[in-house]
Amino acid sequence: MRNAGVAIQTGTSCSAYDPHNTSSRYLNSAAFSTPAPFTLGNVCSLASTRTCRYENENLSLVKRFQVTEKVQFKLSGNFFNLFNRHTWTGISSDINNSGTFGRYSGATTPRIVQLNARIEF
């Protein structure tokens, strides 16, 4: 259940969130409580609460070298999440688990680089 008059977010921003600090939370556990048995809660969605923004830049570079009239050498590189930005994912919303409620459990994938060399004839 949503407790009226209590802020939903703790004030910890996505950039200030520390996954190693157990007191670092994105959601305020005091803003919610378990509903009485055999009743429904009063929260269906929290329109004013958003997760961390997602930014991801990908880049591909390709260079072809003409070796002979019929043979080409192609060198390419693919860079996924070029600037190695991460976004917190998997926020716990289980009010009955006070140890993990309001905390993120993961992050998006790190930078991935693929280098390719190819001879075409």
CA distance 64 to 45: 52
Question: Token pair for residue 36?
Answer: 């009485």
Q: Is residue 29 included in any domain, yes or no?
A: no
Q: Is residue 16 included in any domain, yes or no?
A: no
**Mean pLDDT of the region 76-83:** 96
Q: Is residue 96 included in any domain, yes or no?
A: yes
Q: How many domains does the chain have?
A: 1
Structural domain harbouring 91: 55-120
Q: Which residues partner with 80 through β-bridges?
A: 112
* DSSP summary character for residue 121: -
- The verdict on pTM exceeding 0.75 is no
- Return mean pLDDT, the chain: 89
Q: Is residue 17 included in any domain, yes or no?
A: no
For 20-64, what is each residue's pLDDT tens digit? 888 888 888 888 888 889 988 888 777 777 778 888 999 999 999
Residue entry with tokens 């140890």: 99
Confidence at 111, pLDDT banded by 50, 70, 90: very high
